[in-house]
């Protein structure tokens, strides 16, 4: 006898709705002199906004403004976007690419269950690691993988509040194939867990993966959230500059039944994705939002409710939302000197490079590792072991040892001009009349008068 599952019925109904009402994407290059307008209309379902923002982010588009509404059975979003150089889009197929990504055959970006172990995909094996951050940790991880005959083909590493999370993609260094031998995987897991725990980890270290494929950046957010990196332990936490601290307010709008979240921070790529991802994974639904990111600062306002339709109901929950949003923004904020390594890829390259960092007293605060054909293209953000800026002579010594022609210093434009502390800012007070009028004229919201 088959077991009836309400969840399965809901999923099938959702698929039917999507097939009957596929997303409609329009690209307008005429209405604005500086940006391209992308308008997305679709049947409303939980996670729709995150899917759209994720697609735009993965296309390397910068979102300068956004007006979002998803009340009722339909959602309509308007995004003002540019390319990475600040130019309007010139690709004729951008609408088709977005529509294909959001259509009924698109991958679902919902949270997937976790299990302990490693996962073998078609091209590589994916390992997820969380634990206490410390100087030299990344060097130890890559050294273990090299000793175990694993080749790292890609990886991303985040650190925040003395915690580290990473997603690492490996293959067998001889065959280039995914590693699927259970005994070998168990050994990899055991040794990495030993490295992660060290002798000071007050919380649990983990090697874990998703059952299935999950967006890498979203998975890193989920891992750090599960590791409670938003808990500010005074004994452990070495804060970034207070001048760069995100400013978040959370207030209830009693007459409309929403909770209003205002967020101000230095602008950077993928900022909107980080905020929407966090709200979604915390089980909140964004009903309306206004995003302004046209200068050195970004301003975001969200009208949210719980998935059950209720607003935030306690001071403890309000503070938790503030802490989690601040943490989500800080995780990807680049602290330290940006070093770019571009060289011929080889087995053990990362182990050697991060060992040299460690021997020169550098610690990696964030890393992005990619392989493009036979080339390794890696980005590292480094500070000294105490979290302070690195001396120029140390950087030059590291470049000389690794190779000054393959390791370059890049200024991070997003680390400049930190915002000055100001009084409480409310997007609602400054932009609500103008943005609501704009949304009303587009037919995105009903009149609030």
The 10s digit of each residue's pLDDT in 91-106 is 666 777 776 766 554 4
With the C-alpha atoms ordered 140, 365, 230, 170, is the resulting torsion angle positive or negative? negative
Please classify residue 426 by burial: count the beta carbons closer than 10 Å to its beta carbon, then call 0-12 exposed, 13-18 middle and 19+ buried: middle
- The stretch 165-181 carries a mean pLDDT of 91
Q: Is 330 helix (H, G, I), strand (E, B) or coil?
A: helix
Structure tokens of 377?
């293209």
Whether the Cβ atoms of residue 371 and residue 404 lie closer than 8 Å to each other:
no
pLDDT digits (tens, 9 = 90+) for 294-322: 989 999 999 999 999 999 999 999 999 99
Whether the Cβ atoms of residue 267 and residue 82 lie closer than 8 Å to each other:
no
**Residue 246: which residues within 8 A CB-CB, separation 6 or more?**
263, 264, 265, 325, 326, 329, 330
Domain ranges within the chain, ordered by starting residue = 8-110+241-332+419-449, 114-232+334-415
The pLDDT value given to residue 96: 73
Does residue 131 carry a pLDDT above 90?
yes
Whether the Cβ atoms of residue 151 and residue 80 lie closer than 8 Å to each other:
no
Does residue 164 carry a pLDDT above 80?
yes
Helix or strand holding residue 116 (H, E): strand 114-116
The pLDDT value given to residue 20: 54
Cα–Cα distance measured from residue 230 to residue 330, given in angstroms and rounded to the nearest whole number: 10
Does residue 346 carry a pLDDT above 60?
yes
The pLDDT value given to residue 102: 65
Does residue 341 carry a pLDDT above 70?
yes
pLDDT digits (tens, 9 = 90+) for 409-422: 986 433 343 433 33
Residue with the two structure tokens 């992308």: 38
Whether the Cβ atoms of residue 192 and residue 179 lie closer than 8 Å to each other:
no
Q: How far from each other are the two terminal CA atoms of the chain, in whole angstroms?
A: 55
Model confidence at 351, in pLDDT bands (50, 70, 90)?
very high
Does residue 440 carry a pLDDT above 80?
no
The pLDDT value given to residue 386: 84
Model confidence at 245, in pLDDT bands (50, 70, 90)?
confident
- The stretch 432-436 carries a mean pLDDT of 44
pLDDT digits (tens, 9 = 90+) for 20-79: 566 788 888 889 999 999 999 887 778 889 989 999 999 899 999 999 998 777 888 999
The pLDDT value given to residue 74: 81
Say if domain 114-232+334-415 classifies as CATH 3.30.70.560. no
Q: What is the mean pLDDT of the chain?
A: 81
Residue with the two structure tokens 């030993």: 194
Model confidence at 447, in pLDDT bands (50, 70, 90)?
very low
């Amino acid at each position: 006898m088959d077991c009836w599952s309400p969840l399965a019925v809901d999923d099938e109904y959702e698929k039917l709705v999507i097939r009957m009402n596929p997303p409609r994407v329009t690209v307008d290059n005429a209405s604005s002199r500086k940006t391209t307008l992308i308008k997305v209309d679709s049947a409303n379902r939980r996670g729709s906004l995150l899917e759209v923002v994720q697609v735009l982010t993965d296309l390397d588009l910068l979102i300068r403004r956004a007006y979002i509404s998803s009340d009722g059975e339909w959602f309509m979003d308007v995004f003002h976007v540019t390319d990475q150089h600040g130019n309007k889009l010139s690709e004729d197929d951008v609408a088709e690419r977005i529509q294909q990504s959001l259509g009924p055959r698109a991958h679902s970006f919902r949270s997937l269950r976790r299990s302990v172990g490693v996962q073998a995909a078609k091209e590589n094996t994916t390992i997820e690691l969380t634990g206490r951050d410390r100087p030299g940790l990344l060097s130890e991880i890559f050294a273990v993988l090299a000793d175990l005959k694993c080749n790292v083909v890609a990886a991303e590493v985040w650190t925040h509040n003395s915690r580290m999370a990473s997603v690492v993609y490996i293959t067998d260094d001889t065959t280039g194939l995914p590693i699927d031998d259970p005994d070998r995987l168990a050994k990899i897991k055991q040794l990495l867990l030993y490295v992660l725990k060290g002798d000071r980890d007050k919380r649990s270290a983990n090697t874990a993966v998703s059952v299935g494929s999950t967006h890498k950046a979203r998975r890193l957010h989920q891992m750090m959230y599960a590791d409670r990196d938003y808990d500010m332990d005074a004994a452990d936490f070495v804060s970034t500059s207070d001048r760069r601290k995100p400013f978040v307010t959370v207030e209830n709008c009693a007459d409309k039944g929403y909770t209003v979240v205002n967020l101000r921070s230095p602008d950077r790529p993928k900022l909107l994705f980080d905020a929407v991802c966090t709200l979604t994974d915390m089980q909140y639904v964004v009903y309306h939002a206004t995003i302004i990111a046209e200068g050195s600062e970004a301003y975001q306002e969200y009208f949210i409710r719980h998935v059950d339709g209720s607003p935030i109901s306690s001071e403890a929950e309000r503070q938790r939302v503030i802490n989690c949003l601040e943490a989500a923004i800080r995780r990807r904020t680049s602290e330290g000197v940006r070093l770019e390594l571009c060289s011929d890829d080889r087995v053990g390259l990362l182990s050697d490079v991060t060992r040299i960092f460690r021997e020169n007293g550098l610690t990696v605060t964030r890393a992005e590792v990619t392989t493009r054909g036979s080339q390794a293209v890696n980005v590292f953000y480094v500070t000294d072991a105490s979290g302070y800026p690195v001396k120029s002579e140390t950087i030059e010594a590291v470049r000389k040892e690794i190779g000054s022609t393959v390791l370059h210093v890049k200024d991070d434009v997003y680390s400049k001009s930190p915002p000055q502390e100001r009084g409480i800012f409310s997007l609602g007070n400054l932009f609500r009349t103008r943005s609501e009028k704009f949304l009303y004229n587009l037919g995105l919201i009903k009149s609030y008068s």
